[in-house]
Amino acid sequence: MNDIEKRIEELTNELNYHNHKYYVDDAPEISDFAFDKMLVELEQLEEKYPEYKKKNSPTVRVGGEAVKSFGEVHHDVPMLSQQKAFSKEEILDFDRRVKAVVHDVNYVVEQKIDGLSVSLEYVYGEFTRGSTRGDGINGEDVTENLKTIKSIPLTLKDDIPFLEVRGEVFLSRDNFNKINDMLEASEQPLFANPRNAAAGSLRQLDPKIAAKRNLDIFVFNIQQIQGKEISTHIEGLEFLKEQGFKTILDKKSYSSIEKAYERILEIGEERGNLYFDIDGAVIKVNELTAREMLGDTAKFPRWSIAYKYPAEKQQTVIRDIKVQVGRTGVLTPLAILDTVHIAGSNVSRATLHNLDFIREKDIRIGDTVIIQKAGDIIPAVVEVIKENRDGSEKEFEMPTHCLECGALIVREEGEAAYRCTGVNCPAQRLRNIIHFVSRNAMDIDGLGPSIIEQMIEKDLIETAADLYYVKAEDIAEMDKMGEKSAQNLINALEKSKTNPLYRLINAFGIRHIGEKAAKILSAKYKTLDNLRNASVEELTEIADIGGKMAQSVVEFFMQEQSIAFIDKLEKAGVNCIDDSEDSIIDRRFEGMTFVLTGTLSKYKRSEAGKIIENYGGKTSSSVSKKTTYVLAGEDAGSKLDKANSLGVTVISEDEFEEMIK
């Protein structure tokens, strides 16, 4: 073994050890910085000497190439669901059914993780395949995505000929909130709950996306094993823990169903303090021989049952209603409550969603209400006890100006949400800056969300305009940065100052104003000063600028925050003038609207769209009777179907090329 191969092996083993200490044992021994430094060294060595890369290399955790679709996997041992119980009586009935077949039995009780069930297969200690439960008989091959989960061992401690285990992939509450924060900041749809987020992440065709989600797993059962005798469930979980798996191991067993039920109630009290979601507790027969005697039905094993906790409700009083400003500027009313204990935790606040919800339920300050945790996570008001009113209760009114920054609050027609219009609103700071630097806006390379967060935390910036005043030496001192990275970022900021005006307009994040509208406004008004002075009436006279868009533009430039923000950008030397000439010389597509769908082989969609616009045409995201052509690539879906149903002309890439010759 040469020095290079030896170093790769050393780094692989050391990094895998520290991964296990961090993600499984929850006992890190080195800093994130030290870990990342070793990982970078390994990545560089593997790139240069791929022949020495190990199968269990931690670099696979970042995700490989995207797949076109998931292959089907047949489960030799069916992945059955659980029979469910909702009362103590149903638990006792389960015990009587078990005792009718097996007289002497011990039970184990485990938390029922609210996630996505998967199978992991190992051949001679190497992770070879992972699959979803699917319908219990057939699932999907998600091996590459499962490799990104750092709590899944790629190599076991022992060279077991064959092992198949079952586990539950989940997302911690903290990671769930982080993902939704990022989605909200980029104005993408949010996940409803951690389980949906975990399922959506695991089924990403691109493993790199799955890797960024920081999924986790608990392994809870041995499906098949060769080369090792196991007699009890507890023994099996202890063995799995020795092999490197993350398990929920409760070594207690209960000969009495009453004691097992007491443990269920204890778990119910503890669930609010867990870092992950559970949707019940599971009672299992501990002895594997007894399990064989009991057998399975077509749907579930007879040797286990899942207890589902009832939604817990409590009575309390609303002492006040405060407003919280979200990262997209949406105002959410929060009920300030007399503290009550519910589902394992103390609750003193509950969401009231929006003003329409408050009016519909006639919720007032001072009301006695019933609350419960929706999905055992989010406290919500479900009922007002109106007979407890004494006349002192007060109706809630939404503020007219943001309590965070003082900017105007607006509510657009047809929407439930009230929004802050402030560009410098502290609550929206991260989202606004992320949008400002994004590819379709100012396109500042190397300035990702984590760097922006650090800059905010270190008080280097308050708004996006402050980016142009940050010094290279301050950036160099941040985590995972250095002098070279800092200078590259400064260069990218300098380069962005010369961007076309439309990019800056788009970067402002004015509601309803995207890249296309920004281009229209830039071409029409030529300078930012001209646009600042435009009225709603003037703006609505422009083709493709509707009333809501015009109103948003005017409201944006009315704000003192916006004026100060723009002044700061101008002083930094950011371009505020459109000095481009009309690029549309050939207007062959004037009056035509194109919809692009499917995968194009010769162009990116953005490139094809640019060509259409350069010839005076327009692009749209939806098909209607007004659509002139649908340019369809491979795997065109519902848009193609709609075009055919409406009789809209569908063209191929070859036909499109003929049109632009």
For 146-189, what is each residue's pLDDT tens digit? 999 999 999 999 999 999 999 999 999 888 888 877 776 666 67
429-448 mean pLDDT? 89
* Residue 244: band (very low, low, confident or very high) from pLDDT cuts 50, 70, 90: very high
Mean pLDDT of all residues in the chain? 88
565-583 mean pLDDT? 86
pLDDT of residue 360: 92
* Residue 508: band (very low, low, confident or very high) from pLDDT cuts 50, 70, 90: very high
pLDDT of residue 23: 64
- Please provide the size of the chain in residues: 661
* Cross-strand partners of 593: 618
Residue 586: inside a domain: no
Domain match, 362 and 433 both: no
- Do the Cβ atoms of 427 and 326 come closer than 8 Å? yes
Domain match, 125 and 264 both: yes
Please spell the DSSP secondary structure of 118-166, one letter per residue: EEEEEETTEEEEEEE-TTSSEEEB-HHHHHT-TTS-SB-SS--SEEEEE
Domain match, 263 and 365 both: no
* Residue 67: band (very low, low, confident or very high) from pLDDT cuts 50, 70, 90: low
25-52 mean pLDDT? 78
**Of the residues 367, 388, 409, the one at which a domain ends:** 388
pLDDT of residue 583: 52
* % pLDDT > 90, the chain: 47
In angstroms, the CA 100 to CA 104 distance is 10
In angstroms, the CA 197 to CA 181 distance is 13
Domain match, 244 and 113 both: yes
Residue 409: inside a domain: no
Closest CA to 304 of 78, 112, 121, 135: 112
Whether the pLDDT of residue 375 is over 60: the answer is no
- Do the Cβ atoms of 370 and 314 come closer than 8 Å? yes
Domain match, 487 and 613 both: no
* Residue 576: band (very low, low, confident or very high) from pLDDT cuts 50, 70, 90: very high
- Residue 196 sits in a domain of what CATH number? 3.30.470.30
Residue 399: inside a domain: no
Which of these ranges, 176-185, 215-224, 365-374, 570-579, has the smallest mean pLDDT? 176-185
pLDDT of residue 610: 79
361-380 mean pLDDT? 82
* Residue 203: band (very low, low, confident or very high) from pLDDT cuts 50, 70, 90: confident
Chain Cα centroid distance, residue 258: 41
- Residues of the domain holding 544: 426-571
- Residue 324 sits in a domain of what CATH number? 2.40.50.140
Domain match, 188 and 299 both: yes
- Residue 47 sits in a domain of what CATH number? 1.10.287.610
Active site residue 516: no
Domain match, 484 and 559 both: yes
Give the phi and the psi of residue 591 in degrees, each rounded to 5. Answer: 85, 0
Higher pLDDT, residue 25 or 503 = 503
* Residue 604: band (very low, low, confident or very high) from pLDDT cuts 50, 70, 90: confident
373-400 mean pLDDT? 85
Alpha helices in 203-245 (DSSP H): 207-212, 233-243
pLDDT of residue 201: 86
Give the phi and the psi of residue 154 in degrees, each rounded to 5. Answer: -80, -25
The DSSP H or E segment spanning 378 is strand 378-384
342-361 mean pLDDT? 84
- Do the Cβ atoms of 369 and 316 come closer than 8 Å? yes
Residue 578: inside a domain: no
- Do the Cβ atoms of 137 and 78 come closer than 8 Å? yes
* Residue 590: band (very low, low, confident or very high) from pLDDT cuts 50, 70, 90: confident
* % pLDDT > 70, the chain: 94
* Residue 66: band (very low, low, confident or very high) from pLDDT cuts 50, 70, 90: low
* Residue 648: band (very low, low, confident or very high) from pLDDT cuts 50, 70, 90: very high
HEC-encoded secondary structure of 13-73: HHHHHHHHHHHCCCCCCCCHHHHHHHHHHHHHHHHHCHHHCCCCCHHHHHCCCCCCCCCEE
Q: Is 447 exposed, middle or buried (0-12, 13-18, 19+ CB in 10 A)?
A: buried
Residue 335 token pair: 């009920």
User: Which of 177-181, 551-555, 569-573 has maximum average pLDDT?
Assistant: 569-573
Task: State the DSSP code for 653.
Answer: H
- Do the Cβ atoms of 278 and 271 come closer than 8 Å? yes
pLDDT of residue 164: 97
Residue 370: inside a domain: yes
In angstroms, the CA 83 to CA 98 distance is 13
Domain match, 176 and 280 both: yes
The DSSP H or E segment spanning 501 is helix 501-507
Residue 393: inside a domain: no
Residue 415: inside a domain: no
Domain match, 108 and 256 both: yes
* Residue 312: band (very low, low, confident or very high) from pLDDT cuts 50, 70, 90: confident
Domain match, 112 and 218 both: yes
- Residue 655 sits in a domain of what CATH number? 3.40.50.10190
What's the number of domains the chain is made of? 5
* Residue 62: band (very low, low, confident or very high) from pLDDT cuts 50, 70, 90: low
- Residue 467 sits in a domain of what CATH number? 1.10.150.20
pLDDT of residue 185: 65
**Of the residues 18, 39, 62, the one at which a domain ends:** 62
Domain match, 86 and 58 both: no
* CA dihedral sign, ordered 217, 223, 226, 232: positive
- Do the Cβ atoms of 22 and 149 come closer than 8 Å? no
From the list 112, 150, 284, 519, the catalytic residue is: 112
User: The whole model's pTM is what?
Assistant: 0.58
Domain match, 100 and 224 both: yes
Alpha helices in 203-325 (DSSP H): 207-212, 233-243, 257-270, 288-294
Residue 402: inside a domain: no
* Residue 625: band (very low, low, confident or very high) from pLDDT cuts 50, 70, 90: confident
pLDDT of residue 56: 82
